[in-house]
Amino acid sequence: MSERKWAAIVYGRSYYLDFRLIAVPKDFSNRKIDWALEHIIATTRTADKLSAHPRWSLFKDKSHCIIGVTCMVRDLLGNLTNEAGQDLTQDNCGRPLYVFVGYSTKLENSQPSTNYFPYMGNNLKIFQPLYDYVQQQWQVKKYDRDHNQTIITDYHNLIIENPFSNYSTNDKNFTINHQYRVPNRIFLWQDLEIWRQKLWYKAADCQQPLSLCLGANKQKDLITSPFHNGTVEDINEFIIQEKTNLANQFQSSSLSQKISEKIKTDLKITFQNAEKAAVVGQEIINNLGTKVNQKSTSNSTENFGFKPKNSNPDRDWF
């Protein structure tokens, strides 16, 4: 049995540049990148609540599984500085940084789910080396095109401490949702450590495409996301909610398609507004024309810009 290999995937910002995909596995197509970004960006909602509350996520399709954590950089690294003594936890405006750091693995029938690494709460040691990719682009500026490129990562063996090979996922007290079960709904649990542990192992063991986010702040952060399962802080019991963004659930459109659709919608609205303005403008012109015609009709002769004489015709000198 071959050992599972992992490739780094990192989403964050550096000292000067805004959030972007900094590192991505070498075999990811544009469509795969879009799929990954939809999930990653959803984990960054209500980012002001991330401090000391890292959000673990696991999402898989038929060919890949991504495991990662969204957290404050200071929670990932502590007060780490670079070689120049610069604080790596803040950007050039002094804002504290958060980041998504994770690993992607290829799904193969010969590799069981039991050699995934376990959910470890606030212990983020396994993800710490991934911030090296951010450091590589830390000082890059927008005009540095040669250096402002996404880093392509390869698959390598990963030393996993305490893999959950001995954990039983045969807990019949709950069922996890996946893409082919109830794709238009999301299963939500109270954000307790016991549910985090159980859901993590259940999700890793599931053979169907699914997604799980642990530690979301609000229900709405996940209801409007691509996730099928999650734990949230603002509930105290298990609930099932209907998703509100179900377009292309099984075949998500690419980000470029979404941008194109947005542009088309904006143009349509612009044309509609222009047509309305043209109609209103024509009505104004017609009304003005009517008033001018009425005024012209009231004068028996054309004055060509001269004022008509109001005196008695018998006193005309001409």
Predicted pLDDT at 163:
59
Domain ranges of the chain: 5-250
For residue 96, the cross-strand partners are 90
Give the residue among 5, 4, 1, 126 at the shortest CA–CA distance from 56.
126
* Nearest CA among 21, 22, 9 for reference residue 134: 22
Q: Could you tell me which residues come within 8 angstroms of residue 261 by beta carbon, excluding any fewer than 6 positions away?
A: 253
Helical H runs in the chain? 30-42, 73-77, 132-136, 193-205, 219-223, 255-298
> For 215, left (φ over 0), alpha (ψ -120 to 50), or beta?
left
Q: Are 98 and 70 in contact (CB under 8 A)?
A: yes
The pLDDT profile of the chain, 318 residues, written as one tens digit per residue, is 468 899 999 999 999 999 999 999 999 999 999 999 999 999 999 999 999 999 999 999 999 999 999 999 999 998 766 666 778 999 999 999 999 999 999 998 656 555 678 899 999 999 999 999 999 999 999 887 766 789 999 999 988 776 554 455 556 667 999 999 999 999 999 999 999 999 999 999 999 999 999 999 999 999 999 999 999 999 999 999 999 864 544 444 455 555 555 455 555 555 555 565 555 566 655 665 555 455 444 444 444 333 444 445 444 433
* pLDDT for residue 78: 80
DSSP strand pairing (151-153 vs 185-190)? unpaired
State whether the Cα torsion 242-224-237-69 is positive or negative: positive
Model pTM? 0.74
DSSP string, 76-102: HHSS-B-TT--BTTB-TT-PBPEEEEE
| The pLDDT value given to residue 257 | 57
The predicted pLDDT at position 217 comes to 96
* pLDDT confidence of residue 268: 55
Q: What is the pLDDT of residue 162?
A: 65
Measured N-to-C along each axis, helices 30-42 and 255-298 cross at an angle, to the nearest 10 degrees, of 80
Give the per-residue pLDDT at 96. 95
What is the rounded end-to-end Cα distance, in angstroms, of the chain?
119
Cα–Cα distance measured from residue 7 to residue 33, given in angstroms and rounded to the nearest whole number:
14
Nearest Cα to Cα of residue 221 among 212, 232, 211: 232
> C-alpha angle with apex 127: 22 to 156, nearest 5 degrees?
80
